[in-house]
Structure 1
Amino acid sequence: MSEGPVRQYQVKTIASLERGLRVLRALQEMRAASLHDLHQVTGIPKATLIRILHTCGREGLVWQRLADGAFVASLQPRRAPHDDAEWLGELASPALEELCERVMWPSVLTVPRLDYMETIDTNSPKAYFDEVVPVAPIGFRSHMLLGASGRAYIAFCAEEEREAVLRRLREHDAPGNAHAHDPAWLRRLVTTTRSRGYSVRAPEYDFDGRNSIAVPIRLHGEVLGCVNVTWRRTVMSAQEVARRHLNDLQAAVRRIEERAAGATPQRLG
């Protein structure tokens, strides 16, 4: 049974609180918004908006996406189930930023869809020479058997889940999907990836001049998503990047897993 409206008291409202709530409602309606978007929609001066967003951020009500700087209403108060991409992006954001500070190259957070991996957050490179080769944008679909993130997911997900993905890939004649019909190739992929603890993008999957290594985010036996480190292919080999930065990448993933475990003590829904 829902509660009725708040009793009408003969008191003044709090103007600053009203402005803050107006911003939160706008974010909930738009899902994500820039500072300029919020100014246009609410009419609140940008200086005031910055104070409101800073205050809401400190209280865990708003967070800022790394990839494009957009502000997003927090999902944590309603404790969304851990297959919610925005929820995972919010949890992962601090770890991704710290990882980029340590490694200098950008990283990408992806989640599994039916038969591909979708980019849900990225960060900008700190190395000046890496900026000339842009990272794939939010919403980008990477190949499940050729991309580093897809390979990490396939190697570490449950067997039934893996077979369901492979069935879908076998139904479509697309580049890279032929591997789904090759049990020996698939066994080598899974065994090799698990033994070294990370995956590597396929050499032939060169659509952007970059290379990547990836590690899965796991919780309660499930792969929620993957985090990669990506760099210009001509700068360094995957083996050298793994030697230098695999520990940093794995530490970032552990931090995300710890935050996810703390936010969802048990699977919901």
Structure 2
Amino acid sequence: MDSVKTIRSVERAFAVLQALGEAPQGATLVQLTASTGLSGPTLLRLLKTLIGVEAVRRSTTDQRYRTSVRLHALGQAVIAAEQLADLAAPWLDSLCQQVEWPSDLAIHTGDDDFMRVLESSLRQSRFYVRRTKGRVRVTLLGSAAGTAFLSALDATRRQELVRAARQGRDVHNTRIGAVEDMAARVRAVRARGYALRHPLYRGGSFDGRARDDALEAIAVPLVHAGQVFGTLNINWNRGAMTEQEMVRRHLTVLRAAAAGIAKAAGQQGLHLELASQLQAEQSVWRGP
């Protein structure tokens, strides 16, 4: 890694943000020049870029530069997500001990057309499943996690996300969105109390080519006090067990783990932090 070059402009932008973070009353261009050692023209280009991505704002009152509310919110959301991962890890370990197959805790960010795996028991499972380890992105419309999340939302918000996913770059979302069967899928999920993968989705990474990974999954949403802020699933090899058998054996413990995580997150206020800092997600989930 030592041979990989750093991106100088990113380093300079970080220096500007750090200087602004140390100036609660804001800073002028002259003050930023002194604190960062950057030239005026370089600073102006950096500030224009940072303002463009809404990381920095310039006050109309005193013309001072300050970090934006959005930047602070993003930082708080990242902290909340890490706290949720830390809180959920023991629950995932316990669930894996009972089920043996691996589970993922996934969250949704803003208007993204994917779910992000925040924590997983993939390494703890004694069974091999063909999936990339780590914080992978999972297609929104095809995955069990995405379907569980969408099914827990009110119709207006769900339609917004489905519409955006259809127009995105992910081939899985585009293909599945063209079927236009989300309303029927939502009714089925709410009736039975869990979500499955879409029949057309057999695997493949987000924004990557389709491939059959031989997996199936069931998923339920994480809901507390009217807010949906994530999902919990169980993954297994299709050839090892049918959906009906998985549900009969393990749906109850999956629901119990999801309820435990949601309650613990609620006690720490994480559901509100994630919902308010990322994107408010009103839940209408009632289960079966």
For this structure pair, what is the TM-score category when the shorter chain's length is used for normalisation?
0.5 to 0.7
What is aligned with 2:230?
A: 225
> What whole-Å deviation, never above 9, does each CA across 1:139-190 have from its counterpart, x for those lacking one?
211111111000000111233321221121132362342443555x111110
CA distance in 2, matches of 1:118, 1:265: 17
Quick check: 106-115 or 169-178, which moved more? 169-178
Q: 1:215 aligns with which of 216, 220, 239?
A: 220
Question: Structure 1 residue 138: deviation in Å?
Answer: 2.2
- Count of matched residue pairs: 187
Q: TM-score, normalised by structure 1?
A: 0.63
Q: 1:51-200, aligned counterparts within 5 Å?
A: 84-113=80-109, 114-124=112-122, 128=126, 130-131=127-128, 133-172=129-168, 174-180=171-177, 183=180, 185-200=181-196
| More off after superposition, 204-213 vs 231-240 | 204-213
Cα 1:136–1:170, aligned 2, differ >3 Å: closer, same or farther? same
CA RMSD of aligned residues (A): 2.4
Q: CA 1:139 to 1:266, structure 2 compared with 1: closer, same or farther past 3 Å?
A: closer
What SS does the aligned partner of 2:132 have? coil
When residues 82 and 192 of structure 1 are mapped into structure 2, their CA distance, relative to the original with a 3 A threshold, is farther
What are the residue-to-residue correspondences of 1:2-41 with 2, within 5 Å? none
Cα deviation 1:49-88 (Å, max 9, x = unaligned):
xxxxxxxxxxxxxxxxxxxxxxxxxxxxxxx669932122
Per-residue deviation at 1:126?
6.1
In structure 1, the gaps of 5 or more residues are 1-79
Partner of 2:198: 202
Query: Would the aligned equivalents of 1:215 and 1:226 in 2 still touch at CA under 8 Å?
Result: yes
In structure 2, stretches of 5+ residues that fail to align are 1-75, 204-212, 277-288
Contact 1:81–1:264 at 8 Å: present in 2 too?
no
Change (3 A) 1:186 1:204: closer
Any conservation in 1 of the 2:145–2:231 contact (CA below 8 Å)?
Answer: yes
